[in-house]
Structure 1
Amino acid sequence: MQILILEDEPVHAKYLTKLLTSICGSTINEVKHVTSIDEADVYLKQFHADIFFLDLNIFGSDGFEVLDRIPTTTIHTIIVSANTDNAIRAFEYGVIDFIAKPVSEDRLRLSLERHSLFVNTYQIVGKIQSNTKSRLLQVDLDRLQNRLSHLMEVQKIYLNENLSLEVLAEELELHPRQLSEFLNGKKQTTFHSFLHSYRIREAKDLLIKYPEKNVSDIGFEVGYKSLSSFYDAFKKELKITASEFRQRTSLS
């Protein structure tokens, strides 16, 4: 078994490795420890990891950036973080489990049991699906693309702060896994990245069009429930803050 740990504090990574070795023994081939999001991204693109243990605060960077880049359907991710407020958001990405720090041996055992159950279930489902290969075989992809574009471009459904993969799939008369496969395979993106791209584009337009509006009001207007989520998404998309963007555009 190949295990990857993304953790910026070596003492935590060392302790987790010790627990894993104690629990799993010789079934582990390698435990690879990296300390940056870029290192993890490179490793996951080049090598196979059976389990990916991810901390959500990497030297101040948001660990969710990694989940935006990788499909959790193929990389089995377990979050290890003291930020338990992020648990619901993490499960929305499809992670297997969320372990609060400090990690205990019993809690880690339970998480590994969940992983084992997940793998066995995934293999069974994979065998069942092997005859069809894709959930999209019976879907009219052109019609799906047109309907999706209409919802996003015309109806601007992304402004709904409660929009989720499940809600959007229902609007498209799809199973959520069908929509996830379409976004991952056909559009090379995750649902959250897809949603953020529309919300941030709308925010950019509003920042330019209404210079008198507060940046925070615009964040809520484009569909974000919290300002921190808006600020983080905006900076991730444009590498500058919303206020800096407004200032630069007003000078140009």
Structure 2
Amino acid sequence: MRILIVEDETVAARGLERMVRELLGSKISSLHIEKTLLGSQCFVKENPVDLLFLDLNLDGDIGFDLLKEMAAASFLTIITSGNVAEAIHAFEYGVLDFVPKPITKERVKLALEKYQSNSGKSKTKYIGIKQENQLQLVATKEILYIQSFDKQIKVFKKNGEKFVHNKSLDSISKILPNHFLRIHRSYIVNRKQIKSIETGSGGFYQVELVTGIKLKMGRNYYKSLKATLEKI
């Protein structure tokens, strides 16, 4: 796992590094610390990262400037901040978790467990997608479905627009709101846009969306999706 810690206070940065190393041990392939907004921006452009720990107050610079850019990145972000109000806003940009200061090992452990699983109730309102050197913020409520595509994903909106995004299907599933459901190894669907489930002989399953689009459904996902829809 490749980790980046962005924190301007040396003591806090080293303390977080120690906790992360104690919790993850040999799972860490690299761990780097940056103290400035500019330094972190340069680092992520030149180095692969899996998980970012981001302080929102960087010696006068606002971490949100980096956060908006990182919403379009392939890695996931955990906020470390003493400002709860900032954290609530940060969840709108698809952060995985918020660890309040002063940071404890127990709270870092919970955040890492969330990273390693698909659990958690996300409040993500926007997904940042880079389009021709510009950042496009796509509202999750406008997303119809998401398809895996050559180690990337395609995000399809209700209005017919589609975007290529660098996150994997597994990564994006960790930050999407709970009404987004996996129906196949290649598809995540907005449950609110499902019209019906169709079945046939020979293990045939597919989902029809309100737009008329039909998507192949995996047998292993049929029972859980059917049960979910029946509860609505």
TM-score where L is the length of structure 1? 0.49
RMSD over aligned CA atoms reads: 3.1
Deviation per CA, 1:68-92: give whole Å up to 9, x if none.
2223562200000111111210100
2:46 paired residue number:
46
SS of aligned partner of 2:26: helix
Unaligned runs of 5+ in 1: 120-124, 143-182, 186-252
Aligned 1:181-196 pairs, distance under 5 A = none
CA apart distance, 1:4: 0.3
The residue that corresponds to 1:136 in the other structure is: 156
Does structure 1 conserve the Cα–Cα contact (< 8 Å) formed by 2:4 and 2:49? yes
Structure 2 residue runs without a partner (length 5+): 120-144, 166-232
Equivalence for 1:93: 93
Quick one: structure 1 residues 130 and 100, their matched pair in 2 at CA, closer, same or farther if it must change by over 3 Å?
same
Aligned mates of 2:3, 2:70 — CA distance in 1: 16
Query: SS where residue 4 of structure 1 aligns?
Result: strand
Q: CA deviation at 1:118?
A: 3.7
| 1:90 alignment partner AA | A
CA deviation map 1:95-141 (0-9, x unaligned): 0000001111111110001111149xxxxx98866699523399644
- In the alignment of these two chains, the number of paired residues is 140
**1:69 corresponds to which residue?**
69
The one-character-per-residue Cα deviations of 1:1-44 (angstroms, maximum 9, x if unpaired) are: 11001100010010000001110011111210001111111111
Q: What is the percentage of aligned positions where both structures have the same residue?
A: 32
Distance 1:132 1:140, change over 3 A: farther
Structure having the higher strand fraction is 2
Q: How high is the TM-score relative to the length of structure 2?
A: 0.54
Q: 1:127 to 1:14 in 2, by over 3 A?
A: same
Cα distance change, pair 139–79 in 1 and its aligned pair in 2 (3 A): same
SS at structure 2 position matched to 1:136: strand
Partner of 2:108: 108
Q: Evaluate the alpha carbon distance shift between residue 81 and residue 115 of structure 1 in structure 2; reply closer, same or farther with a 3 A threshold.
A: same
Residue 116 of structure 2 aligns to a residue in which SS?
helix
Letter in 1 for 2:64: F
- Is the CA contact 2:147–2:153 (under 8 Å) kept in the aligned structure 1? no
Q: Of Structure 1 and Structure 2, which has the larger fraction of its residues in helix? A: 1
1:28 maps to amino acid: I
Q: In terms of Rg, which structure is larger?
A: 1
Name the counterpart of 1:37.
Answer: 37
Answer yes or no: is the 8 Å Cα contact 1:51–1:76 preserved in 2.
yes
Q: Deviations over 1:126-175 (max 9, x none)?
A: 88666995233996449xxxxxxxxxxxxxxxxxxxxxxxxxxxxxxxxx
Equivalent residue number for residue 57 of structure 1: 57
Q: Evaluate the alpha carbon distance shift between residue 129 and residue 40 of structure 1 in structure 2; reply closer, same or farther with a 3 A threshold.
A: same
